[in-house]
Chains A and B, each alone.
Chain A
Amino acid sequence: MREGLRSAWAIVAKDLRLEIRRVESLGTMTVFGVLVVVIFVFAGDPSPADLARLGPGALWVAFLFAGALGFGRWFAQEERNAALHGMLLTPVDRGVMFLGKWAGASAFLLGLVAVLAPVALTLYRLDPHGAWAELALLFAVVTVGYAALGTFFAAVAARTTAGELLLPVLLFPLAVPLVLAGAEGGQVLFEGGAMAEYWDWLSLAVAFDVIFGTVCAMGFEYVIED
């Protein structure tokens, strides 16, 4: 167990180090995400009421697209020099490998949310009515779930010839429940709605994380082996 966690942490640290050194990846994702958020504001000359209604959805759409852009390259670093084979030659359990890649992707995406969310909140004039902790929790849960899906399908896409095209096609339909939970749960907070409704949406996102995290971890072995 301890050895597994040590290996998972080594994979997280390696991935984050590589991503930080390759600034263009994080930079491109962030700029792209911000652009999507901004475009929604200018599309159709929305009123302040429209903006408040559009805001949570626009934020998550921007997050989804920008995240997919990053996932496309997330696994490419394992394919370069066949480095993935180097990892597969070690005694590390494939589930632990997934855990490491997943945790790294989650940290990476949380960084993206940390930039996108303030921009969206400002532009769309969204106010969670003091429920900042609940909003942060919702962001974290949705991000972790999306990272699980993204890690898994990035591995699938990296091993196919049409990977970059295939990734969004595989990823987006399955991410719908997460986007729904993120957008609707956020809307409840921004409209000062009943917290019970917020918890329902959060529970949906948590259930998604648990189910897809488990399934992806179990299926990872079959995806990464030749």
Chain B
Amino acid sequence: MTGGVRLEVEGLTRYFGAHPALEDVAFVLEPGEFLVVLGPNGAGKTTLIKTIARLLRPSAGAIRLDGGDWLSASSEGQLEVGMLSHATYLYDGLTAIENLRFYATLYGLPDSEGSAREALRTVGLEDLAEKRAGAMSRGQAQRLSIARAVLHEPRLLLLDEPYAGLDPHASRRLGQALERLHGEGRTIVLTTHDLDRAPRGADRYLVLVEGRVRATGSRGETPELELRAAYERAVARAEAWASGRG
């Protein structure tokens, strides 16, 4: 059991020039909770994930991991975070095992070879260890990317549109992998623009439109139709407000 972190996001704001990509975003996740962030394209989902991962600095606001100030924590803190995106973060010219060995070394894992092999086995790619990432199908590359993201056993997993470009079979496999990772007690934040891809196993949902939180609720207790209605209402309200402003 890996366990999860308590994640607190408070007043998170990020500007790109004069344009606010995130405005006053706030939520709290208890250890092991799974949050799905829903929003149309340009809602600020990627900015939110990148800011939590410390790939972007926020313009204002705070992020706390287990109560500690995450934004000023040492770089060693990155061991707590794993991130999966629609981009695989893999080197096409390296084989699956070389990619994982490289990342295992950067994460400072003592047995990079062993950790890489174990991660490959976990995602069922042990037979493709010597295959170059660039020669893999989208689904295989995404599974390799999952192995990369969890190689160092992070307690917080950030998933930015992980289903993008996957066929139904690969999507199903990814869904199963997410269930397993959630079952290991990790705290998970997943973004998607597609309501059909909002995992039913998630604990909570949050609707983000034009950088603002428009709705939140319990994923398990919200029927599918109600969730869809809440999402569409939030998008319509934001669009009406934007056209009124224009």
Contact = CB atoms under 8 A, between A and B. Distances in A.
Contacts of B108: 3, 6-7, 91
A7 B93 contact: no
B131 interface: no
Nearest to A15: B91
B170 interface: no
A22 interface: yes
Contacts of B82: 89
B182 interface: no
B187 to A, nearest CB: 16
B85 A17 contact: no
A129 interface: no
A83 B89 contact: yes
A92 interface: yes
A89 B94 contact: no
Size category of the binding interface on chain A: 20 to 34
Interface residues of B, number: 31
Nearest to B77: A91
A214 to B, nearest CB: 20
Nearest to A100: B106
B165 to A, nearest CB: 12
B105 interface: yes
Contact of B93 (A6, A21, A87, A92): A21
B83 A17 contact: no
Contacts of B79: 91
Contacts of B102: 10, 14
Interface centre among B88, B92, B105, B107 (most CB of A within 10 A): B105
Given A6-B105, A90-B103, A81 B91 contact: yes
B91 to A, nearest CB: 5
Nearest to B158: A89
Interface in B90-145: 90-94, 98, 102-103, 105-108, 133
A22 B91 contact: no
Given A80-B92, A81-B88, A81-B89, A89 B78 contact: yes
Contact of B90 (A81, A88, A89): A81
A3 B76 CA distance: 12
A18 B133 CA distance: 12
Nearest to B101: A10
B26 to A, nearest CB: 22
B50 interface: yes
A86 B93 contact: no
A7 B90 contact: no
A89 B105 contact: no
B148 interface: yes
A77 B85 contact: no
Contacts of B55: 85, 88-89, 225-226
Contacts of A11: 106
Interface string B181-196: 0000000000000000
A50 interface: no
What are the 9 closest A-B residue pairs judged by CB atoms, nearest first? A86-B89, A82-B87, A90-B106, A10-B105, A91-B78, A91-B75, A18-B93, A81-B88, A21-B93
Given A89-B81, A89-B89, A90-B103, 13 more contacts: A77-B93, A81-B92, A81-B133, A82-B87, A82-B89, A85-B83, A86-B89, A86-B103, A87-B106, A88-B55, A90-B78, A90-B107, A91-B107
Interface of A: 3, 6-7, 10-11, 14, 17-18, 21-22, 77, 80-83, 85-93, 225-226
Interface of B: 50, 53, 55-57, 75-79, 81-83, 85, 87-94, 98, 102-103, 105-108, 133, 148
